Chain A
């Protein structure tokens, strides 16, 4: 299986489009860091105007942990779209190139073949997140230093001690990995049905965009839908920045995401096993 996965990884990293996501993420992170470095204090004043009216906040408010938190907020909504680029291409890309028929003619079970493709897509997803974490966290810490982390919610202001922050980022990374693998598995499922990569990429992106919009719109009629939208559970990485962490809520969302991954990959395998591969 590892041999197959390595071949799939080779294919992924041979394509220039794979690096679009790394370049885009790197650029966004650098732009945010640059903007914060140049005018972060003004941004902070705006963010804290409500609390500044009644409280004096002393200390290094603009610090690496805060900037990385801001980066995560901005990026974790958009990274799913970049992941679709690779996961949506996994099977459909082969079909488009005409190599899929050749591939399934090999003495390897379709299940193993598909699983290796999914594992390779997941590794790509993890590498992308790791790249984001390293550049975002280490870069921000190097530029802004460390201090306590201020987390602002609509009705609560949370201050986390700097010694209490890193494990939260590690846990949020694990949760984000689960979220992004859910998106990858959706794009992967769509990829099984198409003969060119554009369809599954756009299809998965559309589902993520529509579900994200439904998640973010605060309209009662949509609120009933939200518990069933995986995009709603994807936002629960923020749960690790509560004090105390609502473990039950975070765990519930993690399980929902895990169930989605299992469902999407199982469906992909089930359909692919019966698929009449003509291209």
Chain B
């Protein structure tokens, strides 16, 4: 009888905690759902050991639920595969996941509540998402996402003028990179001979994409052609 009561108490407590996390996510989602679409101007910086690309002005297009495109006007932009992940809205879209409480943490000096999301859809590429949610502002400050295809990546978000919409001022997306090697015959590149360059850059297996947003045009409609 005593043990029965104890189990019942623990069960009730865990359900209550999970409900608290779920309620928090509902608040985050409610904020995000105010945004049907946006066009944002920003600056993107890609830092990958084998890619040498200049920081450039980009336009970011988003449309509910998870359509996301980064374009450089008249130029070429490079994003890690599944670049949609740079957009956290995609993580909460659909709502087919189970929440597990993960305690608390601090992200860039802000106290957050950790919530783990386990997708219920077996076909989902995402295996686990760990969200660090700022309870006060009801925004995600950090997300660590493990996927079947692209390994684990991390998204850090800073908020400013668009906090009320749940839209970040700056996103830093960290991801795993694979080796890059092309045969020299294809690149018409030949061994120079003579003294070899010893300062072979320590090739990091991590890459980052940093997008700093300057402005958002929210719910003004986004043309379909921008997602092609």
Chain A interface (Cβ < 8 Å from any Cβ of B)? 47, 50-51, 53-61, 73, 146-148, 150, 152-162, 164, 215-216, 218, 222-227, 232, 235, 238, 243
Of the candidates A61, A226, A238, the one whose C-beta lies within 8 Å of that of B193 is: A226
Residue of A nearest to B203 (CB): A155
CB distance from B57 to the nearest CB of A (A): 10
User: Chain B at the A interface: mostly helix, strand, loop or mixed?
Assistant: loop
Q: Which chain A positions have C-beta within 8 A of B51?
A: 51, 55, 156-159
Taken residue by residue from 61 to 94, chain B's Cβ proximity to chain A (1 for < 8 Å, 0 otherwise) reads as: 0000000011110111111110100000000000
With contact pairs A56-B81, A226-B192, A235-B190 given, residues A157 and B76 touching in the complex (Cβ less than 8 Å): no
Q: Which chain B positions have C-beta within 8 A of A160?
A: 54
With contact pairs A159-B52, A223-B193 given, residues A57 and B76 touching in the complex (Cβ less than 8 Å): yes
Of the candidates B52, B79, B80, the one whose C-beta lies within 8 Å of that of A157 is: B52
In the assembly, what is the distance between CA of A164 and CA of B190, in Å? 25
A58 to B72, Cβ gap below 8 A? yes
Chain B interface (Cβ < 8 Å from any Cβ of A)? 50-54, 56, 69-72, 74-81, 83, 177-178, 180-184, 186-194
A156 to B72, Cβ gap below 8 A? no
New contact pairs (13) apart from A54-B80, A226-B193, A243-B52, CB-CB < 8 Å:
A54-B177, A57-B77, A58-B78, A154-B183, A156-B51, A157-B50, A159-B51, A162-B74, A223-B191, A223-B193, A226-B191, A226-B192, A235-B190
In the assembly, what is the distance between CA of A157 and CA of B77, in Å? 13
Of the candidates B54, B178, B187, B193, the one whose C-beta lies within 8 Å of that of A154 is: B187
In the assembly, what is the distance between CA of A218 and CA of B75, in Å? 35
In the assembly, what is the distance between CA of A182 and CA of B182, in Å? 31
CB-based closest 7 A-B pairs: A226-B193, A59-B76, A159-B53, A223-B193, A227-B194, A148-B76, A148-B75
Residue of B nearest to A212 (CB): B190
Of the candidates B71, B182, B193, the one whose C-beta lies within 8 Å of that of A58 is: B71
Of the candidates B54, B83, B180, the one whose C-beta lies within 8 Å of that of A243 is: B54
Residue of A nearest to B186 (CB): A47
CB distance from A39 to the nearest CB of B (A): 17
B54 to A55, Cβ gap below 8 A? no
In the assembly, what is the distance between CA of A216 and CA of B193, in Å? 10
Residue of B nearest to A160 (CB): B54
With contact pairs A55-B79, A148-B76, A222-B193 given, residues A73 and B184 touching in the complex (Cβ less than 8 Å): no
With contact pairs A55-B80, A56-B81 given, residues A154 and B75 touching in the complex (Cβ less than 8 Å): no
In the assembly, what is the distance between CA of A155 and CA of B78, in Å? 17
B184 to A58, Cβ gap below 8 A? no
